[in-house]
Amino acid sequence: MASPYVTFSREQWRGLRASTPLTISDEELACLQGLNEKLSLTEVADIYLPLSRLLNLHVGATQELYQATHTFLGNLEKKVPFIIGIAGSVAVGKSTTARILQTLLSRWPNHPKVDLVTTDGFLYPNRILEERGLMKRKGFPESYNTRRLVSFLSEVKSGVVEVAAPVYSHLVYDIVPDEWQIVREPDILIVEGLNVLQTPLDENQRRLTEVFVSDFFDFSIYVDAQEDLIKKWYIDRFKLLRKTAFSDPASYFKRYASLSDEEAIEVAAGIWNEINGTNLRKNILPTRGRARLILEKGEDHMIQKVKLRRL
């Protein structure tokens, strides 16, 4: 069966950069990448610069279409944000992808204001998850307040001047009460999370909403890798967190700080097998084919192939 995607090797994709300038320094990249990711400027130049160029063309075309439509309708409403969704597994590196794209896209002159929101803020607070017996299903579709997320995106896409998103703390593993991220009329909004391409269903496989999160996206990206690689990255990150976030007395996971390497591997593998791997196979991976573009990673988080959906 013919694929809906055009597949580019790393070398082919690199050639699509054209004259796009490299606008990230080594120091900036060090701040943007994840805990156990060691991305180079070569990776940025080969993969992310062509992608930023593609997205810039999409944004420009959308802005022109919006202007043409409003000229036809005879009103002078300002343009609404171009929304990009980024999906993928826990530990696959989608947060790093989102941060790099935010930085690169903000340096194009026709869309300098680029905001980034993660869907973690739309998880139900722990007290609600505990009441519903969902603490071990955190990250599964039912653990998110999807209606609230849809309402947030609807307001952004409708041009509301200020829209508030809840804030999640990975340190305390919970929503932060009375803290908000305010989104103020960005040119581009990047929405990153496990669930952004999912079609939410309840326990009886009925739709939770008639409108999906992805309905608000102008472009969507899925960050992909083989599960054995993602599991390894998850375990490696877990081991590193023992010496960083887990060692903080305020950390929800402080009980893991004193684990030996062997114990940490066992615990992390157990969490992966019980929760994250199951969620990947059941809920996240099936949404890959809904993305406009797929970034396929190999060893060391290096992207080996790019798949772009045919128009």
The residues that bridge with 224 in the sheet, in sequence order, are 296
pLDDT tens-digit profile of 98-117?
A: 999 999 999 999 999 999 99
The length of the chain in residues reads 311
Residues whose CB is less than 8 angstroms from the CB of residue 266 and which lie 6 or more positions away in sequence, other chains included? none
For residue 176, pLDDT over 70 is answered with yes
Q: Give which of 89, 115, 273 is closest to 181, Cα–Cα.
A: 115
Q: What is the pTM of this model?
A: 0.94
Q: Give which of 204, 194, 83 is closest to 138, Cα–Cα.
A: 194
> What share of the chain in percent tops pLDDT 70?
95
pLDDT tens-digit profile of 261-284?
A: 999 999 999 999 999 999 999 999
**Stretch 206-234: mean pLDDT:** 90
Q: Cα(50)–Cα(53) distance, rounded to whole angstroms?
A: 5
Q: Cα(62)–Cα(66) distance, rounded to whole angstroms?
A: 6
Q: Cα(223)–Cα(226) distance, rounded to whole angstroms?
A: 11
The CA-based angle 40-226-262, given to 5 degrees, is: 85
| Averaged pLDDT of the chain | 93
Q: Are strands 82-88 and 219-224 parallel, antiparallel or unpaired?
A: parallel
